A and B are shown apart, each in its own frame.
Chain A
Amino acid sequence: MFDLSGKRALVTGASGGIGGAIAKALAAQGAEVALSGTRVDKLEKVAGEISGKTHVLPCNLSDLAQVDELVPQAVEAMQGLDILVNNAGMTRDNIFMRMKDEEWDEVLAVNLTAAFHLSRAVLRTMMKQKFGRIIGISSVVGVVGNAGQGNYAATKAGLIGMSKALAQEVASRNITVNTIAPGFIASAMTDELNEKQRDAIMNQIPAARLGTAEEVAACAVFLASDAAAYVTGHTLNVNGGMVMI
């Protein structure tokens, strides 16, 4: 039902937990996948765990010159591009009154501006093909905010607004643009939480557990598939019931 044979995908932040899981899940459905990120050894590792066709395309998303090379590289490597997953993200947490310009700018550049550049770059190919799937990985924080993450929350909410605008522009061209807003997903970051922090989080989650990267990846597979052709401008909340809107 969610077959992606013959489809070509580019996943940013593919060395991370969620990005790697998305790359693997798309590949498992038959997609050819280009993995992008800054940590080449980790990208190679993810690529090694995928039996289908993969390409490792290192890219530092805070450098716009590199960002603008990425889509042409992916299109050349795969002879086209059907699915773009803007997954890469970073945090530089600080309370508003202490937040430095650099902390704001850096997070905006990687999380939002790079996603804008990459989405703009894939449109030409997708319009010609009359098919495309653009998926942005937002966050529950972009939906409800989070103290100490003004910059991060702005980018994650920004992705949602950007996707809705773009979705309206290109819907008639068979290109869908959606976002996924994960809640607390088990990762290296959540492993570091102490018991008290963990309990506080669990109290907010009706499912009473953290989500898995695979559960986020499954949503990306759905949105990338033909089955989701009529879903666009949507934000899929994957948060164990933490926020229901």
Chain B
Amino acid sequence: MSEVEDRVRKIVVEHLNVEADKVTEKASFIDDLGADSLDQVELVMAFEEEFSVEIPDDAAETIQTFGDAVSFLKKATA
């Protein structure tokens, strides 16, 4: 498991109050992890802070699953 994955999972677990093992690659924040649209905005804000990157709104909209977040942040911080 990559370091990026661990850091993203930690944020998701903390923000959405879910079990770490539910946060799988395909897990959708809204459909599987109980996030509402505002939670999703907060997650993106937390990712920005954790990884010191800026995630523009159109990119944020493509981040629907845990896997989406990990691959976006891997690219952004590469």
- In the complex, the answer to whether A128 meets B45 with C-beta atoms within 8 Å is yes
Residues of B within 8 A of A124 (CB): 45
Tell me, in angstroms, the Cα distance from A127 to B43 when the chains sit together: 11
Query: Mask for B21-63, Cβ within 8 A of A = 1, else 0?
Result: 0000000000000000010011001000000000000000000
Task: Give how many A-B residue pairs fall within 8 Å (CB-CB).
Answer: 10
A3 shortest CB reach to chain B, Å: 28
Report A-chain residues with C-beta under 8 Å of the C-beta of B41: 127
Q: Which residues of chain A have C-beta atoms less than 8 A from B38's C-beta?
A: 127, 169-170, 172-173
Nearest CB on B from A8, distance (A): 19
A residues 72-129 near B (Cβ < 8 Å) are 124, 127-128
Interface residues on A, range: under 10
List the A residue with the shortest CB-CB distance to B39.
Answer: A172
- In whole angstroms, how far apart are the Cα atoms of A128 and B48 in the complex? 12
**Closest Cβ–Cβ distance, residue B74 to chain A (whole Å):** 24
A19 to B13, CA, bound (A): 43
In angstroms, Cα B42 to Cα A170, docked, is 11
Q: How far is the CB of B49 from chain A (nearest CB, A)?
A: 8
A237 to B: closest C-beta gap in Å: 30
How long is the Cα–Cα vector from A169 to B42 in the complex, in angstroms? 13
User: In the complex, which residues of chain A have a beta carbon less than 8 angstroms from the beta carbon of B42?
Assistant: 127
Task: Give the docked Cα–Cα distance between A196 and B27 (Å).
Answer: 70
Bound together, the chains give a CA A173 to CA B41 distance in angstroms of 12
**A residues whose Cβ falls under 8 Å from a Cβ of B:** 124, 127-128, 169-170, 172-173
Given contacts A124-B45, A170-B38, 5 further A-B contacts (CB under 8 A): A127-B38, A127-B42, A127-B45, A169-B38, A173-B38
* 5 A-B pairs in the complex with CB atoms less than 8 angstroms apart: A127-B38, A127-B42, A128-B45, A169-B38, A173-B38
